[in-house]
C-alpha cells in the first residue's frame, strides 16, 4: 500500500495538531448551543472521531452516506443519499463534518438538502479544501488544510475503498488510478 503513495502531503502529527485547533474553535463558537455533528460517510469518519474528542461541549452525532464518486477520481455531479439521518435537525445547530471539498457539487446538494430541514444554523467543517477544483461556490466555516489539485488518500480518504486506514494524507501515484 505504501508503494502506491508518491509522497506524504500532511503528516499524522500535522493532522492531529490542526484537528485539535479546530475542536477548540468549535467548542468556543458553539458554547451553550445544541450542536449536532453530521459525519459524511465514509471519508469523514476518521476526522469526525478525532474532531469530536477535541470538542469540549456536549454534542450529538449523526451520519449520512452519500455517493457521487463511485470508483472514479472525479465527482459525477449526481448525488445519491445512501443513508439518511436518524434524527430530525429542525431548530438545532448543525455542523457538517466532511473529509474534502473538491468540486463542491456534493456539498452544495447536501447543504441545500439539510437547509430544507430548518436547522437553527448550518455550517461546514472540512479537513481538506481543494479550491482549484471548485465548480460551484461553497464556503467552509472550519477548514483544516487548503491543498493543491492532487489526488489524495489516507486518514479516511480513499481510492476504490482502499487507503482509508493510512494515518497521514498522501498523494497517490497517478499510475494507480489512471
Q: Which residues does the annotation mark as catalytic?
A: 102
Within its chain, how far is the Cα of 40 from the centroid?
6
Which of 149, 109, 101 lies closest to 129, judged by CA?
Answer: 101
Cell of 4: 502506491
CA distance 10 to 153: 10
Q: At residue 126, what are phi and psi to the nearest 5 degrees?
A: -130, 145
Amino acid at each position: 500500500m505504501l508503494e502506491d503513495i508518491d509522497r506524504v502531503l500532511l503528516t499524522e502529527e500535522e493532522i492531529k495538531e490542526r484537528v485539535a485547533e479546530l475542536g477548540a474553535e468549535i467548542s468556543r463558537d458553539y458554547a451553550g448551543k445544541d450542536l449536532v455533528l453530521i459525519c459524511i460517510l465514509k471519508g469523514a469518519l476518521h476526522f469526525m472521531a478525532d474532531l469530536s474528542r477535541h470538542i469540549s461541549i456536549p454534542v450529538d452525532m449523526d451520519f449520512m452516506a452519500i455517493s457521487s464518486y463511485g470508483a472514479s477520481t472525479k465527482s459525477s455531479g449526481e448525488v445519491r443519499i445512501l443513508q439518511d439521518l436518524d434524527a430530525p435537525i429542525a431548530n438545532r445547530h448543525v455542523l457538517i463534518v466532511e473529509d474534502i471539498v473538491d468540486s463542491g457539487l456534493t456539498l452544495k446538494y447536501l447543504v441545500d438538502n439539510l437547509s430544507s430541514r430548518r436547522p437553527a444554523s448550518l455550517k461546514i467543517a472540512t479537513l481538506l479544501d481543494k479550491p482549484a477544483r471548485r465548480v460551484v461556490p461553497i464556503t467552509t466555516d472550519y477548514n483544516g488544510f487548503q491543498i493543491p489539485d492532487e489526488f489524495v488518500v489516507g486518514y479516511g480518504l480513499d481510492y476504490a475503498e482502499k487507503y482509508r486506514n493510512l494515518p497521514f494524507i498522501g498523494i497517490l501515484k497517478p499510475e494507480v488510478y489512471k
